[in-house]
Amino acid sequence: MRLRIGTRKSRLSIAQTDLAINAIKNKFPEIETEIVPITTKGDILLNTPLSDIGGKGVFIGKIEDALQSGKIDIAVHSAKDLPYLLSDGLEISAVLPRGDFRDVLVTMPQTEYNSQTAFTVGTGSLRRRMNFARLYKNASFANIRGNVDTRLNKLACGEYDGIIVAAAGLERLGITEANGWKFRFFDSDESMPAPCQGIIALESKSKSYVSEIVRSVTHKETQVCFEAEREIVTLLNGDCSVPLGALAIHKDGKVTLKASVDPNRVIFKASDISQIKQLARELVSQL
C-alpha cells in the first residue's frame, strides 16, 4: 500500500510530515509513503493579514480539496491553523504527541529589553499582541507573515526588534539559541497559547480505510487535549480575528482546561475526561 500525504511546502511542514510518516511506518512498516507538497492561499498572499483573506482556512483549503478529490490520502496540519469547521466528509483522524505549546519571543543576542523598553515586535496575532502588551507596556507591533525561516531572516535584517513564534516550530526545526538567537519563553500564565498550539493533526476522509489506519497511530493523551481545546474553538466560532487562548492539561484521568479572550482574565476548571464537552461549555459561558 502507498499513501500520498499532502502538506504545505515550508521546511516546518515537511518536518511535521516526516513525524507523521514515522508514526505510521512504526506501526505499519510495510506501507510506502509519498509527500505531496501543496501551495495554499495563505502561502501566496503574504502581505495581507490573515483576517483579511479568510482566516485560518487559507492554510488548508487547497489541501482539503486534494483530499476530497483523491489526489492525496492524508493531510498533515499544524492543529492551531485548523478552522473550527472542516470540509464535508473529512475528519481529524489522529494527532501526534504534543510539542512545546509555549509562545517564545526571539531576538538577536545583543538585544536588551525590559518592561520599560520601547521596541517593535513582529506578530500578526491579536492574541499574542494583547498578551505581550500586558507584560511590556512600551512595545509596539507590526504585522509579519511567512514561514519560520522567513520571519527569522526578517528579524536578522533588522525589520523588527523581536518576533513571537510558537516554540514547537523552533523545536521541530532544531533551531536553538546556539544558532545565533536569544529566546524568551512565556508560560501559560504570561501568554495563553492558541488552542491546539504544538499539536500536529492528521486529516483523512471520514469512515475510509485510510482513516482507520491513521486513527490507530493517534497519541491518546494529546487527543484528549486536542478535543477539549477544539471544543472551545467550535463553541466560539473562533478564528484568527478572535484573541482566543486555550490550554488543556491531561493528568491522571482528569483534564484541566484554561481559556481566555482577555489576558487579564483566564477561566479554568477541571473535570473527568468523559466530560470534556460539558467542561468546554461551562468555560465558554464564563468568557
Sketch out the chain's domains with CATH numbers.
2-99+195-284 (3.40.190.10), 103-186 (3.40.190.10)
| pLDDT, tens only, 186-228 | 999 999 999 999 999 999 999 999 999 999 999 999 999 999 9
- The strand order across the sheet containing 265-272 reads 245-251, 254-262, 265-272
Residue 72 predicted with pLDDT over 70: yes
Catalytic residue among 73, 81, 103, 161: 81
20 by DSSP, 3-state: which? helix
Residue 58 predicted with pLDDT over 80: no
Instruction: In whole angstroms, give the CA distance from residue 156 to residue 154.
Output: 5
| pLDDT, tens only, 133-145 | 999 999 999 999 8
| More confident of the two residues 245 and 84 | 245
CB of 279 closer than 8 Å to CB of 235: no
Strands 162-166 and 120-122: parallel
Total-model pTM = 0.92
Question: 88: how many CB neighbours lie within 10 A of its CB?
Answer: 8
- Decide if 81 is catalytic: yes
Residue 56 predicted with pLDDT over 60: no
pLDDT, residue 53, reads 43
Burial 169-204 (b: 16+ CB within 10 A, else e): bbbbbebeeeeebeeeebebeebbbbbbbbbbbbbb
Q: What are phi and psi of 45, to 5 degrees?
A: -90, 80
